[in-house]
Structure 1
Amino acid sequence: MLSETLEISRTPIREAVADLIKEGLLVQIPRKGFHVREITESEKEQIMFLRLSIETEGLKKLVPNITKEQLQSLRKIVSEQEQEMLHNDPVTYIELDQIFHRQILSFANQNLLEQILQEMYNLTRLLGHHALMKEGRMAEVIQEHKQILHALENNDSSKAVQLMERHLEITKSNVNTEKDNS
Protein backbone atom coordinates (compact mmCIF):
# COMPACT_ATOMS: atom_id res chain seq x y z
CA MET A 1 0.00 0.00 0.00
CA LEU A 2 2.76 2.45 0.97
CA SER A 3 4.70 1.53 -2.15
CA GLU A 4 1.70 2.35 -4.34
CA THR A 5 0.91 5.58 -2.49
CA LEU A 6 4.48 6.85 -2.80
CA GLU A 7 4.86 5.39 -6.30
CA ILE A 8 8.15 3.68 -5.50
CA SER A 9 9.24 0.06 -5.37
CA ARG A 10 8.87 -2.04 -2.23
CA THR A 11 12.63 -2.36 -1.65
CA PRO A 12 13.23 1.16 -0.27
CA ILE A 13 10.12 0.82 1.89
CA ARG A 14 11.40 -2.47 3.34
CA GLU A 15 14.83 -0.94 3.94
CA ALA A 16 13.34 2.12 5.67
CA VAL A 17 11.10 -0.04 7.86
CA ALA A 18 14.06 -2.28 8.74
CA ASP A 19 16.07 0.81 9.73
CA LEU A 20 13.22 2.12 11.89
CA ILE A 21 12.93 -1.26 13.63
CA LYS A 22 16.71 -1.38 14.14
CA GLU A 23 16.65 2.14 15.61
CA GLY A 24 13.90 1.07 17.99
CA LEU A 25 11.26 3.41 16.60
CA LEU A 26 8.94 0.82 15.03
CA VAL A 27 7.68 -2.40 16.51
CA GLN A 28 6.46 -5.23 14.33
CA ILE A 29 3.25 -6.97 15.35
CA PRO A 30 2.99 -10.39 13.69
CA ARG A 31 0.15 -10.65 11.14
CA LYS A 32 -0.95 -7.07 11.92
CA GLY A 33 1.80 -4.74 10.78
CA PHE A 34 3.83 -2.11 12.58
CA HIS A 35 3.31 0.64 15.10
CA VAL A 36 5.42 3.42 16.54
CA ARG A 37 7.26 2.27 19.62
CA GLU A 38 5.94 3.65 22.88
CA ILE A 39 8.39 4.85 25.47
CA THR A 40 7.74 3.53 28.96
CA GLU A 41 7.64 5.76 32.02
CA SER A 42 10.86 4.14 33.24
CA GLU A 43 12.56 4.90 29.92
CA LYS A 44 11.35 8.52 30.05
CA GLU A 45 12.85 8.87 33.53
CA GLN A 46 16.13 7.33 32.37
CA ILE A 47 16.30 9.52 29.27
CA MET A 48 15.71 12.67 31.26
CA PHE A 49 18.24 11.62 33.92
CA LEU A 50 20.87 10.95 31.27
CA ARG A 51 20.15 14.19 29.42
CA LEU A 52 20.34 16.19 32.64
CA SER A 53 23.61 14.56 33.67
CA ILE A 54 25.22 14.78 30.24
CA GLU A 55 24.12 18.28 29.33
CA THR A 56 24.91 19.94 32.65
CA GLU A 57 28.37 18.37 32.60
CA GLY A 58 28.89 19.73 29.09
CA LEU A 59 27.92 23.23 30.22
CA LYS A 60 30.30 23.07 33.18
CA LYS A 61 33.15 22.23 30.82
CA LEU A 62 32.15 24.77 28.17
CA VAL A 63 31.57 27.93 30.23
CA PRO A 64 35.22 28.72 31.09
CA ASN A 65 36.37 28.15 27.50
CA ILE A 66 33.54 29.32 25.24
CA THR A 67 34.57 31.54 22.35
CA LYS A 68 32.69 34.36 20.65
CA GLU A 69 32.44 32.21 17.52
CA GLN A 70 30.86 29.36 19.47
CA LEU A 71 28.36 31.73 21.06
CA GLN A 72 27.52 33.10 17.62
CA SER A 73 26.99 29.57 16.31
CA LEU A 74 24.59 28.76 19.16
CA ARG A 75 22.75 32.06 18.61
CA LYS A 76 22.36 31.18 14.93
CA ILE A 77 20.77 27.84 15.82
CA VAL A 78 18.27 29.56 18.14
CA SER A 79 17.52 32.13 15.44
CA GLU A 80 16.84 29.33 12.95
CA GLN A 81 14.55 27.72 15.52
CA GLU A 82 12.58 30.96 15.71
CA GLN A 83 12.17 30.94 11.93
CA GLU A 84 10.95 27.34 11.91
CA MET A 85 8.49 28.15 14.68
CA LEU A 86 7.11 30.99 12.55
CA HIS A 87 6.90 28.62 9.56
CA ASN A 88 5.12 26.09 11.79
CA ASP A 89 7.66 23.37 11.03
CA PRO A 90 7.98 21.33 14.24
CA VAL A 91 10.13 18.62 12.61
CA THR A 92 12.91 21.02 11.60
CA TYR A 93 12.43 22.91 14.86
CA ILE A 94 13.13 19.75 16.87
CA GLU A 95 16.13 18.89 14.69
CA LEU A 96 17.55 22.33 15.46
CA ASP A 97 16.80 21.80 19.15
CA GLN A 98 18.83 18.59 19.07
CA ILE A 99 21.65 20.37 17.24
CA PHE A 100 21.69 23.11 19.89
CA HIS A 101 22.06 20.60 22.71
CA ARG A 102 24.65 18.46 20.91
CA GLN A 103 26.62 21.53 19.84
CA ILE A 104 27.14 22.50 23.48
CA LEU A 105 28.76 19.12 24.07
CA SER A 106 30.81 19.37 20.90
CA PHE A 107 32.12 22.83 21.83
CA ALA A 108 32.97 21.49 25.30
CA ASN A 109 35.01 18.68 23.67
CA GLN A 110 32.79 16.12 25.36
CA ASN A 111 32.76 13.80 22.36
CA LEU A 112 31.77 10.64 24.22
CA LEU A 113 28.88 12.44 25.92
CA GLU A 114 27.84 13.89 22.57
CA GLN A 115 27.91 10.40 21.05
CA ILE A 116 25.73 9.04 23.86
CA LEU A 117 23.26 11.90 23.40
CA GLN A 118 23.26 11.20 19.65
CA GLU A 119 22.41 7.54 20.31
CA MET A 120 19.44 8.69 22.39
CA TYR A 121 18.48 11.11 19.61
CA ASN A 122 15.56 9.14 18.21
CA LEU A 123 13.98 8.48 21.58
CA THR A 124 14.44 12.07 22.68
CA ARG A 125 12.99 13.18 19.36
CA LEU A 126 9.82 11.22 20.06
CA LEU A 127 9.64 12.84 23.48
CA GLY A 128 10.33 16.25 21.96
CA HIS A 129 7.29 16.04 19.70
CA HIS A 130 5.09 15.29 22.70
CA ALA A 131 6.62 18.07 24.78
CA LEU A 132 5.95 20.64 22.04
CA MET A 133 2.24 19.81 21.90
CA LYS A 134 1.60 22.32 24.70
CA GLU A 135 0.44 25.63 23.26
CA GLY A 136 3.30 28.12 23.25
CA ARG A 137 5.99 25.60 24.21
CA MET A 138 8.09 26.27 21.10
CA ALA A 139 8.42 29.95 22.05
CA GLU A 140 9.19 28.98 25.67
CA VAL A 141 12.01 26.69 24.51
CA ILE A 142 13.54 29.50 22.48
CA GLN A 143 13.44 31.79 25.54
CA GLU A 144 15.01 29.05 27.68
CA HIS A 145 17.79 28.58 25.11
CA LYS A 146 18.39 32.35 25.05
CA GLN A 147 18.66 32.40 28.84
CA ILE A 148 21.23 29.60 28.71
CA LEU A 149 23.13 31.56 26.05
CA HIS A 150 23.06 34.66 28.25
CA ALA A 151 24.58 32.70 31.15
CA LEU A 152 27.25 31.34 28.78
CA GLU A 153 28.03 34.89 27.57
CA ASN A 154 28.49 35.95 31.20
CA ASN A 155 30.69 32.92 31.99
CA ASP A 156 28.23 31.98 34.73
CA SER A 157 28.55 28.22 34.98
CA SER A 158 26.20 27.73 37.92
CA LYS A 159 23.48 29.84 36.26
CA ALA A 160 23.88 28.00 32.93
CA VAL A 161 23.59 24.65 34.70
CA GLN A 162 20.58 25.84 36.72
CA LEU A 163 18.85 27.07 33.55
CA MET A 164 19.55 23.80 31.69
CA GLU A 165 18.17 21.82 34.63
CA ARG A 166 15.03 23.98 34.59
CA HIS A 167 14.73 23.66 30.80
CA LEU A 168 14.90 19.86 30.94
CA GLU A 169 12.55 19.67 33.95
CA ILE A 170 9.94 21.72 32.06
CA THR A 171 10.36 19.44 29.05
CA LYS A 172 9.92 16.41 31.29
CA SER A 173 6.82 17.91 32.88
CA ASN A 174 5.34 18.69 29.45
CA VAL A 175 5.97 15.12 28.28
CA ASN A 176 4.21 13.80 31.38
CA THR A 177 1.33 16.29 31.00
CA GLU A 178 0.82 15.29 27.35
CA LYS A 179 0.75 11.63 28.39
CA ASP A 180 -1.86 12.37 31.08
CA ASN A 181 -4.04 14.19 28.53
CA SER A 182 -3.98 11.38 25.97
Structure 2
Amino acid sequence: MQPIKKNKTTKEIVYEKLKTAILIGSINNQEILTETMLSEALETSRTPIREAVADLTKEGLLVHIPRKGFHVREITENEKDQIIFLRSAIESEGLKKLASTVTKEQIVELLEIVGNQETSMKEDDRVRYIELDQLFHQQILEFANQNILSQLLQDMYNLTRLIGHHALMKDGRMREVLKEHKEIIQSLEINDGDKAAQLMKEHLEITKEIVKTVKTN
Protein backbone atom coordinates (compact mmCIF):
# COMPACT_ATOMS: atom_id res chain seq x y z
CA MET A 1 0.00 0.00 0.00
CA GLN A 2 1.19 3.49 -0.88
CA PRO A 3 0.70 6.48 1.44
CA ILE A 4 -1.99 8.95 0.42
CA LYS A 5 -0.51 12.06 -1.15
CA LYS A 6 -2.33 15.16 -0.02
CA ASN A 7 -2.50 17.92 -2.60
CA LYS A 8 -1.28 21.26 -1.30
CA THR A 9 -3.77 24.08 -0.94
CA THR A 10 -3.26 27.34 -2.82
CA LYS A 11 -2.44 29.03 0.48
CA GLU A 12 0.29 26.44 1.22
CA ILE A 13 1.79 26.90 -2.25
CA VAL A 14 1.77 30.69 -1.91
CA TYR A 15 3.29 30.44 1.57
CA GLU A 16 6.14 28.21 0.36
CA LYS A 17 6.87 30.40 -2.67
CA LEU A 18 6.96 33.59 -0.62
CA LYS A 19 9.00 32.05 2.18
CA THR A 20 11.57 30.69 -0.25
CA ALA A 21 11.82 34.05 -2.04
CA ILE A 22 12.36 35.80 1.29
CA LEU A 23 14.99 33.38 2.54
CA ILE A 24 17.09 33.34 -0.63
CA GLY A 25 16.93 37.12 -0.95
CA SER A 26 14.82 37.34 -4.11
CA ILE A 27 12.66 40.02 -2.47
CA ASN A 28 14.44 43.26 -1.62
CA ASN A 29 13.90 44.16 2.02
CA GLN A 30 13.22 47.76 0.99
CA GLU A 31 10.39 46.73 -1.34
CA ILE A 32 6.83 47.30 -0.15
CA LEU A 33 4.65 44.26 -0.80
CA THR A 34 0.88 44.47 -1.13
CA GLU A 35 -1.76 41.79 -1.42
CA THR A 36 -2.74 43.14 -4.84
CA MET A 37 0.84 43.07 -6.12
CA LEU A 38 1.43 39.53 -4.87
CA SER A 39 -1.93 38.36 -6.16
CA GLU A 40 -1.08 39.59 -9.66
CA ALA A 41 2.48 38.23 -9.58
CA LEU A 42 1.37 34.77 -8.45
CA GLU A 43 -1.84 34.83 -10.49
CA THR A 44 -4.12 33.86 -7.64
CA SER A 45 -6.84 35.43 -5.53
CA ARG A 46 -6.06 37.69 -2.56
CA THR A 47 -7.44 35.29 0.07
CA PRO A 48 -4.55 32.77 0.01
CA ILE A 49 -2.13 35.71 -0.26
CA ARG A 50 -3.64 37.29 2.86
CA GLU A 51 -3.44 34.02 4.80
CA ALA A 52 0.15 33.28 3.75
CA VAL A 53 1.31 36.82 4.54
CA ALA A 54 -0.34 36.61 7.96
CA ASP A 55 1.60 33.42 8.74
CA LEU A 56 4.89 34.90 7.56
CA THR A 57 4.28 37.98 9.68
CA LYS A 58 3.67 35.82 12.76
CA GLU A 59 6.93 33.98 12.03
CA GLY A 60 8.81 37.27 11.96
CA LEU A 61 9.84 37.15 8.30
CA LEU A 62 7.52 39.97 7.20
CA VAL A 63 6.74 43.26 8.92
CA HIS A 64 3.40 45.04 8.54
CA ILE A 65 3.45 48.72 7.55
CA PRO A 66 0.08 50.35 8.35
CA ARG A 67 -1.82 51.57 5.28
CA LYS A 68 1.05 50.54 2.98
CA GLY A 69 1.68 46.80 3.02
CA PHE A 70 4.55 44.61 4.16
CA HIS A 71 8.30 44.37 3.81
CA VAL A 72 10.86 41.69 4.53
CA ARG A 73 12.19 41.74 8.08
CA GLU A 74 15.62 43.34 8.23
CA ILE A 75 17.93 42.12 10.97
CA THR A 76 20.07 44.89 12.44
CA GLU A 77 23.76 44.47 13.27
CA ASN A 78 22.90 44.59 16.95
CA GLU A 79 20.33 41.82 16.51
CA LYS A 80 22.82 39.69 14.57
CA ASP A 81 25.29 40.03 17.44
CA GLN A 82 22.60 39.02 19.95
CA ILE A 83 21.50 36.00 17.92
CA ILE A 84 25.06 34.70 17.51
CA PHE A 85 25.80 35.33 21.20
CA LEU A 86 22.73 33.37 22.29
CA ARG A 87 23.36 30.55 19.83
CA SER A 88 27.00 30.28 20.85
CA ALA A 89 26.09 30.04 24.54
CA ILE A 90 23.20 27.62 23.96
CA GLU A 91 24.90 25.29 21.51
CA SER A 92 28.30 25.12 23.20
CA GLU A 93 26.55 24.11 26.41
CA GLY A 94 24.62 21.44 24.53
CA LEU A 95 27.82 20.00 23.09
CA LYS A 96 29.51 19.85 26.51
CA LYS A 97 26.53 17.90 27.85
CA LEU A 98 26.32 15.61 24.85
CA ALA A 99 30.02 14.71 24.67
CA SER A 100 29.88 12.46 27.72
CA THR A 101 26.73 10.59 26.67
CA VAL A 102 26.82 10.55 22.86
CA THR A 103 26.10 7.17 21.26
CA LYS A 104 27.35 5.65 18.01
CA GLU A 105 23.81 5.87 16.64
CA GLN A 106 23.68 9.61 17.34
CA ILE A 107 27.04 10.13 15.66
CA VAL A 108 25.76 8.25 12.61
CA GLU A 109 22.63 10.41 12.51
CA LEU A 110 24.64 13.62 12.65
CA LEU A 111 26.90 12.35 9.86
CA GLU A 112 23.83 11.50 7.77
CA ILE A 113 22.57 15.06 8.14
CA VAL A 114 25.93 16.40 6.97
CA GLY A 115 25.88 13.91 4.10
CA ASN A 116 22.48 15.15 3.02
CA GLN A 117 23.78 18.71 3.27
CA GLU A 118 26.58 17.78 0.89
CA THR A 119 24.02 16.41 -1.57
CA SER A 120 22.03 19.65 -1.33
CA MET A 121 25.19 21.63 -1.96
CA LYS A 122 25.93 19.63 -5.13
CA GLU A 123 22.35 20.22 -6.28
CA ASP A 124 22.68 23.93 -5.42
CA ASP A 125 19.57 23.70 -3.25
CA ARG A 126 20.28 26.44 -0.71
CA VAL A 127 16.88 26.25 0.96
CA ARG A 128 17.23 22.53 1.66
CA TYR A 129 20.86 23.04 2.69
CA ILE A 130 19.85 25.59 5.33
CA GLU A 131 17.01 23.38 6.57
CA LEU A 132 19.52 20.56 7.12
CA ASP A 133 21.94 22.99 8.74
CA GLN A 134 19.29 23.95 11.28
CA LEU A 135 18.43 20.28 11.81
CA PHE A 136 22.09 19.56 12.60
CA HIS A 137 22.23 22.25 15.28
CA GLN A 138 18.81 21.38 16.70
CA GLN A 139 19.61 17.68 16.83
CA ILE A 140 22.66 18.28 19.00
CA LEU A 141 20.52 19.91 21.69
CA GLU A 142 17.86 17.22 21.45
CA PHE A 143 20.46 14.45 21.81
CA ALA A 144 21.81 16.29 24.86
CA ASN A 145 18.28 16.43 26.37
CA GLN A 146 18.49 20.21 26.58
CA ASN A 147 14.80 20.74 25.89
CA ILE A 148 14.52 24.34 27.06
CA LEU A 149 17.64 25.36 25.16
CA SER A 150 16.31 23.52 22.10
CA GLN A 151 13.08 25.52 22.28
CA LEU A 152 15.01 28.79 22.54
CA LEU A 153 16.93 27.88 19.40
CA GLN A 154 13.67 26.98 17.65
CA ASP A 155 12.22 30.39 18.56
CA MET A 156 15.12 32.01 16.69
CA TYR A 157 14.73 29.63 13.75
CA ASN A 158 13.56 32.01 11.02
CA LEU A 159 15.88 34.86 11.96
CA THR A 160 18.75 32.37 12.02
CA ARG A 161 17.76 31.14 8.55
CA LEU A 162 17.91 34.68 7.19
CA ILE A 163 21.42 35.07 8.58
CA GLY A 164 22.41 31.67 7.23
CA HIS A 165 21.31 32.42 3.69
CA HIS A 166 23.21 35.70 3.72
CA ALA A 167 26.35 33.88 4.89
CA LEU A 168 26.07 31.41 2.01
CA MET A 169 26.45 34.27 -0.46
CA LYS A 170 30.21 33.94 0.14
CA ASP A 171 31.74 31.62 -2.45
CA GLY A 172 32.81 28.34 -0.90
CA ARG A 173 30.99 28.87 2.39
CA MET A 174 28.75 25.84 1.91
CA ARG A 175 31.79 23.55 1.70
CA GLU A 176 33.42 25.28 4.67
CA VAL A 177 30.32 24.67 6.79
CA LEU A 178 30.43 20.96 5.99
CA LYS A 179 34.06 20.80 7.11
CA GLU A 180 33.25 22.66 10.35
CA HIS A 181 30.30 20.37 11.09
CA LYS A 182 32.44 17.28 10.54
CA GLU A 183 35.11 18.62 12.92
CA ILE A 184 32.46 19.12 15.61
CA ILE A 185 31.26 15.54 15.14
CA GLN A 186 34.84 14.25 15.36
CA SER A 187 35.24 15.99 18.73
CA LEU A 188 32.04 14.38 19.95
CA GLU A 189 33.30 10.97 18.84
CA ILE A 190 36.29 11.26 21.19
CA ASN A 191 34.08 12.72 23.95
CA ASP A 192 35.90 16.06 23.94
CA GLY A 193 33.12 18.45 24.89
CA ASP A 194 35.39 21.46 25.40
CA LYS A 195 36.88 21.09 21.92
CA ALA A 196 33.45 20.60 20.34
CA ALA A 197 32.13 23.69 22.15
CA GLN A 198 35.11 25.77 21.01
CA LEU A 199 34.66 24.61 17.41
CA MET A 200 30.98 25.57 17.56
CA LYS A 201 31.82 29.05 18.85
CA GLU A 202 34.33 29.52 16.04
CA HIS A 203 31.82 28.17 13.49
CA LEU A 204 29.17 30.70 14.53
CA GLU A 205 31.66 33.56 14.79
CA ILE A 206 32.77 32.94 11.20
CA THR A 207 29.13 33.10 10.09
CA LYS A 208 28.67 36.41 11.92
CA GLU A 209 31.76 37.97 10.33
CA ILE A 210 30.74 36.82 6.84
CA VAL A 211 27.24 38.26 7.24
CA LYS A 212 28.75 41.62 8.21
CA THR A 213 30.90 41.76 5.08
CA VAL A 214 28.62 40.19 2.47
CA LYS A 215 26.41 42.67 0.63
CA THR A 216 22.73 41.81 1.12
CA ASN A 217 19.46 43.31 -0.12
Q: Provide TM-score, normalisation by structure 1.
A: 0.94
Partner of 2:113: 77
Partner of 1:177: 213
Unpaired runs of at least 5, structure 2: 1-36
Tell me, in whole angstroms, the C-alpha distance in 2 between the residues paired with 1:55 and 1:9. Answer: 43
The 3-state SS of whatever aligns with 1:65 is coil
Partner of 2:98: 62
Q: Equivalent of 2:125, from 89, 94, 98?
A: 89
Moved more, 56-65 or 3-12: 3-12
Q: Which amino acid in the other structure matches residue 172 of structure 2?
A: G
Pairwise CA RMSD: 1.4
Tell me, in whole angstroms, the C-alpha distance in 2 between the residues paired with 1:108 and 1:12. Answer: 40
Instruction: Answer yes or no: is 1:168 the counterpart of 2:168.
Output: no
Q: CA deviation at 1:19?
A: 1.1
Q: Which amino acid in the other structure matches residue 67 of structure 1?
A: T
Offset from partner CA, 1:120-149 (integer Å, 9 cap, x none):
000000000111110000000000000001
Partner of 2:53: 17
Q: CA deviation at 1:32?
A: 3.3
Q: Which amino acid in the other structure matches residue 205 of structure 2?
A: E
Q: CA deviation at 1:12?
A: 1.7
Q: Equivalent of 1:34, from 70, 74, 96?
A: 70
Q: Provide TM-score, normalisation by structure 2.
A: 0.80
Length, aligned pairs only: 181
Partner of 1:154: 190
Partner of 1:106: 142
Instruction: Answer yes or no: is 1:44 the counterpart of 2:69.
Output: no
Q: Equivalent of 2:177, from 122, 141, 150?
A: 141
Tell me, in whole angstroms, the C-alpha distance in 2 between the residues paired with 1:5 and 1:36. Answer: 17
